[in-house]
Amino acid sequence: MKNYLIAKSRRLRSTPYTSRIEKQGVTAYTVYNHMLLPAAFGSLEESCDHLKKDVQVWDVAAERQVEIVGKDAAKLVQLMTCRDLSKSKIGRCYYCPIIDENGKMVNDPVILKLDENRFWISIADSDVIFFAKGLAHGHKFDVNIFEPNVDIIAVQGPKSFALMEKIFGKKILDLKFFGFDFYDFQGTKHLIARSGWSKQGGFEIYVENTSSGVQLYDKLFEQGKDLNVKAGCPNLIERIESGLLSYGNDFDNNDNPYECGFEKYVNLDNNIEFLGKEKLKDIKSKGIERKLMGVILDLEKLSITKSLDIYEKEKKIGDLRSACFSPYFKKVIGIAMISEPFCKASQTVYLNIDGKKVSGKVCDLPFI
């Protein structure tokens, strides 16, 4: 595949860490929430290997926040998601499908409950802010909706715990998975969550004080030398192996949460009001016609730039949406939307790639 440059401009926003990652060897960007998100520091395979063994610091400022604050904040947040947040607690993160009037996916953010009337929606790549503004206006909600100045630094990998302990002390280790709290760095409080877009463990630092955040970014590298810390970014191989789905890649506004395997976040038996609830009840009672599944292909290299058709004999039964070579499986693995009754483990499939017939097998997610 030929390589193309990214044409930078103010519209593809830089982050407070951009000048740093460019010195640290970022080689490719993607664009996420109208912002530059590093996509590679040289070899994806070496980065994946390093992430699984050591610790990485990521510029994930592109995970933008939508702040919703005010008397009706909880009502508005609930209206957007099919996950029942009526018992949600301050200091916790909630992975929530955001749903439209047709029961289709709008986003799959992590929602942080900062206070009874104050939330941050930490969004995937779509403008949830305008969905919230539209709903608030129509429903005459008493809320304020804006993008706060928050630029996340993620610290990911098995040695992230040791690195964070060096800087924030032992108490950071008490933080439970998907919990968050405030921790001091040189006189500035930072919101830190035990979360992140890898399955290797770690933290996300929600930096509001930019100058303190930039100092903290540098401190992580200073203190992490003996832990073999490196600059990194969400890793395509690691996220596919782990079955971490990506809005826009694996699913989008044409798919419903059941098709995406999000059934445990769909709560229909209650009195809460949210968009698409009746549609989702209908889908649940009828059953879905297709589902996101893993596929393992007899192939050693594949770059996906758009959906690729998947066949069973001569019949198109689905489409491959993400893929990479996995050093662990020594094959190409991918995430595909596959129709009933073919969306079951061990189903044989094939694809036409560059004029060649490539065979593969369906499997459950995650791969590892």
Contact residues toward a second copy (CB under 8 A) are 1-14, 18, 22, 26-31, 34, 39-40, 100-101, 106, 125-140, 147, 246-249, 253, 275, 303-307, 321-322
* Least distance from a second copy to the Cβ atom of residue 211, Å: 16
Contact yes or no for 160/175 (Cβ under 8 A): no
Exposed/middle/buried for 90, CB within 10 Å: 0-12, 13-18, 19+? exposed
Contacts by 98-101, CB closer than 8 A, 24 or more apart: 98/128, 98/131, 99/257, 99/274, 99/275, 99/276, 99/280, 100/131, 100/253, 100/275, 100/276, 101/275, 101/276, 101/279
* Least distance from a second copy to the Cβ atom of residue 272, Å: 15
Please give the distance of CA 108 from its chain centroid, rounded to a whole number. 8
Q: Which is nearer to a second copy, 28 or 268 (CB)?
A: 28
* Least distance from a second copy to the Cβ atom of residue 2, Å: 7
* Least distance from a second copy to the Cβ atom of residue 290, Å: 16
Q: Which is nearer to a second copy, 18 or 347 (CB)?
A: 18
Q: Which is nearer to a second copy, 200 or 322 (CB)?
A: 322
Q: Which is nearer to a second copy, 248 or 341 (CB)?
A: 248
Exposed/middle/buried for 32, CB within 10 Å: 0-12, 13-18, 19+? buried
Residue 264: DSSP 8-state: G
d(CA 192, CA 178) in angstroms, rounded, equals 10
DSSP 13-56: B--TTHHHHHHTT--EEEEETTEEEEEESS-HHHHHHHHHHS-E
* Least distance from a second copy to the Cβ atom of residue 335, Å: 10
Q: Which is nearer to a second copy, 224 or 276 (CB)?
A: 276
Q: Which is nearer to a second copy, 135 or 268 (CB)?
A: 135
